[in-house]
Amino acid sequence: MIYMVEMALDQPQMRAEWDAWYLQHMKVLLSIPGIEASQRFESLSPHPSPFVAIHQVSGPQVFASAPYRAKAGPGGTGEWRNRMSHWHRNLFTGLDATPEVPPAGALVVVEEGAEAPLPLLWLDAAGLDRSVERRAIAVLARREEAERLKGRPGVRVLKPLTARLVAPA
């Protein structure tokens, strides 16, 4: 399953600190049983939620587990929770593993009804906020390939901010 978290940082002057904190937060998430991989992105075009993290999870039971409740979720963001807005947490079926987006590549997120001339992997909402019922993703190896998609309604082109991190075995 794919756990997708979207948000905005309301205090852009704190961006460097937030990026450092978020990388550590991803490592904390990967210490939770059932969270298997994580990668973080930023939109190349203006969007209410320009930051996106995608996490590979074994299933919805992860979010009810004691380790998750102790280390993650809304309570696990500490002081940063009040500095983020447009926060959405969605759990999706349709893909078992998060794709690895290379540093020079792009993740394309397409909302249902939008047009994007790409092979798309469709995801269906299965839990948490369910702020969207269905959306698709595509991975492009080279960000230049996504330039033609920037600005299309319902299409977000995202650049990787981190490598895809994998939970320790």
pLDDT of res. 14: 94
What integer best gives the mean pLDDT of the chain? 94
Digit-coded pLDDT (tens) for 40-51: 999 999 999 999
| pLDDT given for residue 147 in this prediction | 85
The hierarchical CATH code for the domain 2-163 is 3.30.70.100
Does residue 156 contact residue 109 with C-beta atoms inside 8 Å?
Answer: yes
Tokens of 66: 């004691």
Stretch 5-32: mean pLDDT, rounded? 95
Give residue 57's pLDDT band: very low, low, confident or very high (50, 70, 90).
very high
- Assess contact for 86 and 10: CB atoms under 8 A: no
Task: Check if the beta carbon of residue 104 is closer than 8 Å to that of residue 73.
Answer: no
Q: Residue type for 18, please? A: W
Residues 120 and 157: their CA atoms lie apart, in Å, by 13
pLDDT in tens, 123-156: 999 999 999 999 999 999 999 999 889 889 999 9
Query: Which residues lie closer than 8 Å to 17 by C-beta, 6 or more apart?
Result: none
What are the φ and ψ backbone dihedral angles of 49, each rounded to 5 degrees? -120, 80
- Please give the model's pTM, rounded to 2 decimal places: 0.95
Predicted pLDDT of residue 64 = 94
pLDDT at 2 over 90: yes
Q: What value does the mean pLDDT take over residues 70-74?
A: 82
- pLDDT score, position 77: 74
Per-residue pLDDT band at 24 (split at 50, 70, 90): very high
Higher pLDDT: 147 or 163? It is 163
State residue 144 phi and psi, 5-degree precision: -55, -30
Inform me whether the pLDDT recorded for 62 exceeds 90. Answer: yes
What one-character DSSP code corresponds to residue 164? Answer: P
Distance CA 102, CA 104 (A): 6
